[in-house]
Amino acid sequence: MRGMKKENGTDRQEDSRGNGQGNSRNNSQGNSQEDRREKETDRGEDRNSRNTQNSRRGIVVQVLSYMKKYRLLVCLSLILAAAVVALTLYVPILTGDAVDLLLGKGNVDFAGIAGILKKIGAAVVITAAAQWVMNICNNRITYHVVKDIREDAFHRLEQLPLKYLDAHAYGDIVSRVVADVDTFADGLLMGFTQLFTGVLTIGGTLFFMLATNVPIALVVICITPVSFLAARFIARRTYSMFRLQSETRGEQTSLIEETVENQKIVRMFSREEAVEGQFGEMNERLEKCSLKAIFFSSITNPVTRFVNSLVYAGVGIFGAFVAIKGGISVGRLSCFLSYANQYTKPFNEISGVVTELQNALACAGRIFELIHETPQIPDSPQARVLTDAEGNVALEQVCFSYVPERKLIQNFNLKVRPGQRVAIVGPTGCGKTTVINLLMRFYDVNSGQIRVDGTDIRDITRGSLRTSYGMVLQETWLRAGTIRDNIRMGKPEASQQEVERAARAAHAHSFIRRLPDGYDTVITEDGGSLSQGQKQLLCIARVMLCLPPMLILDEATSSIDTRTELKIQNAFAKMMEGRTSFIVAHRLSTIREADIILVMKDGNIIEQGNHETLLAQGGFYASLYNSQFAG
């Protein structure tokens, strides 16, 4: 991947990135902000140059650079392909020659035939061997390139800023890494070999045919394109039918998703029949348009076969006429016939391959777009590794917004002493999570700085900063695997006792014990059958196990009943004694005990203080508090 950049004209990009790194190396702790800004604008330009460079040619060059590593295999494969094509075309000629020696009773040249048969045997064995080796080479190239590309893509994924990831649909990225790479491999790599052998075959066949007999060759050359055109014509006609089919199918699929996902509700209201009727109506429509689409598209094969047969008949008649006049031997004519049979095949293949190639290029473009996405600024080598943070957190003149047009946090100042509890409150969607994004350095501030224990967090390694916080988010995330592995996420070497202790502290032990396999129960991605509350308890246990020096809780207990929550809070409190914590909460009972309350509205911090002072102020907090307890 490194080598590739040189080739595809991204030198400029590489340069600018190099400069960026150079700058950050030179930065002293304090004045890094301006440089950072500059780098941001550099990046913007990179993106533009990348877009223009992501042309079809650019993509091909990049693909080639991935294949560079395997260039010996590629060369070998190409040579073998040429050999295979040449030999495969040669065998029918030999066969024809042999036939020509079978002139009739008592008129057979056995010595000649034996010689030809030996040649055929040798050619066949060599062809087979070459084909086998070629197949293996192609496999190796394809799957290794696929692997390399996937790894590069994944590597980039791990480094992409959240700014990018938050703005892009996950499904889209996943399909780039998985499906697009596969389509690319099938289409471009396999397609390329097909195209290569196809063109060689056509060229070779043409050559042999023209060399043997020009008039008969012309018959073949004139009729074959008909099948080509016919296939095209049908494909164009069926396009709209296929579109109608996929639209109807999409409609049906969304009904299936809706009703199957909420089937319990369907049952609760005894709506089965109504829904089935709705489904039936769509099903009938789908049946009708599917039949059309499938039938018309399946005509392609018979039609091309028909044209093929016509070519065959044409060669048969015309060839026979020529043969009578002595223009061609019977053996050569039979060779011609077998060519006529094969000749159209690569044509049909190539027409398929061309669309596949285009598709593959588009897929490759999408992957490379991801691979070349600008990664987060790497940690500078001088960055401090934060160990045993005391918990002094200071936000100084912090400005931040996700998009420049919509100002969010402006000139925000906050000083948190070790051990203090900071609560962030406000109505939903007011940007509470933004503060966490900044603290965890998921996003960088636009200006100002955040310091932990006196150091700007941009001068601390991301890993050590983030592991200093224990974070529990409202959106629970569990991975496919055992309960134990999920709890051990932050500390894979933890013993069973440690895991259990953490689970007990999170009040998750009792429900885990009741699962079929206890801690070894395998859960599917996203927790499967666990309730939202149980998932949250697991996420808390995960943090309890690591005992980080600071804590971030984003509505961490929203799905847990208040009584359990209270117990967990106690556990948290015990664990957090003397440690700094940030809590996004909606329950005022939690908030009241905080040392500092940040009241947010529309992305801004509008009030700041403790419970008593804020109530006394009689501002937004006071009205929020009163509205909740007016029940």
Partner 1 sequence: MKKLLKYLADYKKETVLAPLFKLLEAGFELLVPLIVASIIDRGIADGDMGYIGRMGLALASLAVVGLVASVTAQYFAAKAAVGFSAKLRQALFDHIMSLDFTNIDKAGTSTMITRMTSDISQVQSGVNLVLRLFLRSPVIVFGATIMAFTVDGKSALIFTAALPLLAAVVFGIMAWTMPLYKKVQAGLDRVLGLTRENLTGVRVIRAFHREEREEEQFRKATKDLAASQIFVGKISAVMNPVTYVIVNGAIVALLYTGAIQVNVGTLTQGEVVALVNYMSQILVELVKLANLIITVTKALACADRVAGVLEIRNAEQTAGLSEKSRPDGEAAPFLEFDHVSLTYAQAGAEALHDICFTVNRGETVGIIGGTGSGKTSLIHLIPGFYPATEGTVRLEGQDIRDIPEEKLKSLTGIVPQKAVLFKGTVRSNLQWGKPDASEEEMWEAIDLAQAREVVEGKPGGLDAEIAQGGRNLSGGQRQRLTIARALVRKPEILILDDSASALDYATEAKLRQALQSLKGKTTVFLVSQRASSIRWADRIIVLDDGEMVGLGTHEELMKTCGVYQEIYASQYPEEQGKAAPDAR
User: Would you say 34 or 525 has its CB closer to partner 1?
Assistant: 525
User: Would you say 49 or 95 has its CB closer to partner 1?
Assistant: 95
Query: Would you count residue 483 as binding partner 1 (CB under 8 A)?
Result: no
User: Would you say 23 or 127 has its CB closer to partner 1?
Assistant: 127
- Hey, is 564 helix, strand or coil? helix
Both tokens of 38, joined, read 């500059």
Q: Is the dihedral of CA 612, 613, 617, 621 positive or negative?
A: negative
Query: Would you count residue 560 as binding partner 1 (CB under 8 A)?
Result: yes
The least distance separating partner 1 from the CB of residue 454, rounded to whole angstroms, comes to 22
Query: Would you count residue 117 as binding partner 1 (CB under 8 A)?
Result: yes
Query: Would you count residue 188 as binding partner 1 (CB under 8 A)?
Result: no
Residues 423-482, interacting with partner 1 (CB under 8 A):
440, 442, 462-464, 466-467, 469, 471, 473, 477, 479-480
Applying CB under 8 A, which part among 41-49, 92-100, 219-227, 613-621 lies near partner 1? 92-100
- Hey, is 399 helix, strand or coil? strand
CA distances from 228 to 281, 310, 348 (A): 38, 14, 7
Query: Would you count residue 177 as binding partner 1 (CB under 8 A)?
Result: yes
At 593, which amino acid appears? E
Query: Would you count residue 243 as binding partner 1 (CB under 8 A)?
Result: no
User: Would you say 27 or 534 has its CB closer to partner 1?
Assistant: 534
Nearest 5°: the CA angle 546, 170, 251 is: 135
Query: Would you count residue 207 as binding partner 1 (CB under 8 A)?
Result: no
Alpha helix locations (H) across 2-31? Answer: 2-7, 11-26
Query: Would you count residue 573 as binding partner 1 (CB under 8 A)?
Result: no
Residues 340-369, interacting with partner 1 (CB under 8 A):
341
Options 388, 493, 561, 577; binder of partner 1; rule CB under 8 A: 561
Helix (H) or strand (E) holding 335: helix 330-371
CA distances from 26 to 30, 173, 544 (A): 12, 35, 39
CA distances from 215 to 90, 307, 327, 328 (A): 21, 19, 10, 11
Query: Would you count residue 113 as binding partner 1 (CB under 8 A)?
Result: yes
Applying CB under 8 A, which part among 75-83, 123-131, 203-211, 575-583 lies near partner 1? 123-131
The least distance separating partner 1 from the CB of residue 466, rounded to whole angstroms, comes to 5
User: Would you say 212 or 467 has its CB closer to partner 1?
Assistant: 467
Size of residue set near partner 1 by CB under 8 A: 150
Residues 500-529, interacting with partner 1 (CB under 8 A):
510-511, 514-516, 525-526, 529
What phi and psi, each to the nearest 5 degrees, are found at residue 586? -115, -10
User: Would you say 196 or 477 has its CB closer to partner 1?
Assistant: 477
Options 266, 399, 408, 622; binder of partner 1; rule CB under 8 A: 266
Report the C-alpha gap between 46 and 375 in whole angstroms. 12
Residues 579-608, interacting with partner 1 (CB under 8 A):
589, 592
Both tokens of 576, joined, read 């957090």
Query: Would you count residue 220 as binding partner 1 (CB under 8 A)?
Result: no
527-546 footprint of partner 1 as x/- string (CB under 8 A): --x-xxxx--x-x------x
User: Would you say 10 or 99 has its CB closer to partner 1?
Assistant: 99
What phi and psi, each to the nearest 5 degrees, are found at residue 117? -60, -40
Both tokens of 204, joined, read 């070779």
Options 4, 80, 157, 553; binder of partner 1; rule CB under 8 A: 157
Query: Would you count residue 233 as binding partner 1 (CB under 8 A)?
Result: no
User: Would you say 403 or 630 has its CB closer to partner 1?
Assistant: 630
Report the C-alpha gap between 618 and 631 in whole angstroms. 19
Applying CB under 8 A, which part among 19-27, 72-80, 364-372, 562-570 lies near partner 1? 562-570
Report the C-alpha gap between 8 and 478 in whole angstroms. 40
At 6, which amino acid appears? K
Query: Would you count residue 178 as binding partner 1 (CB under 8 A)?
Result: yes
Query: Would you count residue 68 as binding partner 1 (CB under 8 A)?
Result: no
User: Would you say 209 or 487 has its CB closer to partner 1?
Assistant: 487
The least distance separating partner 1 from the CB of residue 537, rounded to whole angstroms, comes to 8
User: Would you say 337 or 583 has its CB closer to partner 1?
Assistant: 337
Neighbours of 528 (CB within 10 A): 12
Q: Is the dihedral of CA 118, 119, 122, 127 positive or negative?
A: negative
Starting at the edge strand found earlier in the chain, the sheet holding 604-609 runs 469-472, 550-554, 581-584, 421-425, 596-601, 604-609
Query: Would you count residue 620 as binding partner 1 (CB under 8 A)?
Result: no
Q: Are 315 and 336 spatial neighbours (Cβ–Cβ below 8 Å)?
A: yes
Q: Are 525 and 478 spatial neighbours (Cβ–Cβ below 8 Å)?
A: yes
Query: Would you count residue 34 as binding partner 1 (CB under 8 A)?
Result: no
Applying CB under 8 A, which part among 10-18, 20-28, 274-282, 497-505 lies near partner 1? 274-282
The least distance separating partner 1 from the CB of residue 171, rounded to whole angstroms, comes to 8
The least distance separating partner 1 from the CB of residue 388, rounded to whole angstroms, comes to 16
Query: Would you count residue 202 as binding partner 1 (CB under 8 A)?
Result: no
Residue-wise over 238-277: b if at least 16 C-beta within 10 A, else e?
beebbebbeebeeebeebeeebeeeeeebeeeeeeeebee
Q: Are 436 and 554 spatial neighbours (Cβ–Cβ below 8 Å)?
A: yes
Query: Would you count residue 611 as binding partner 1 (CB under 8 A)?
Result: no
Query: Would you count residue 547 as binding partner 1 (CB under 8 A)?
Result: no
282-321 footprint of partner 1 as x/- string (CB under 8 A): -xx-xx--xx--xx--xx-xxx-xx--xx-xxx-xx--xx
Query: Would you count residue 196 as binding partner 1 (CB under 8 A)?
Result: no
User: Would you say 451 or 535 has its CB closer to partner 1?
Assistant: 535
Q: Which of 467, 459, 449 is nearest to 387 (CA)?
A: 467
Report the C-alpha gap between 162 and 442 in whole angstroms. 6
Options 90, 196, 242, 279; binder of partner 1; rule CB under 8 A: 279
User: Would you say 108 or 397 has its CB closer to partner 1?
Assistant: 108
User: Would you say 42 or 512 has its CB closer to partner 1?
Assistant: 512
For residue 293, count CB atoms less than 10 angstroms from its CB and return exposed for 0-12, middle for 13-18, buried for 19 or more.
buried
Helix (H) or strand (E) holding 545: helix 532-546
Both tokens of 520, joined, read 């070894």
Applying CB under 8 A, which part among 63-71, 205-213, 390-398, 554-562 lies near partner 1? 554-562
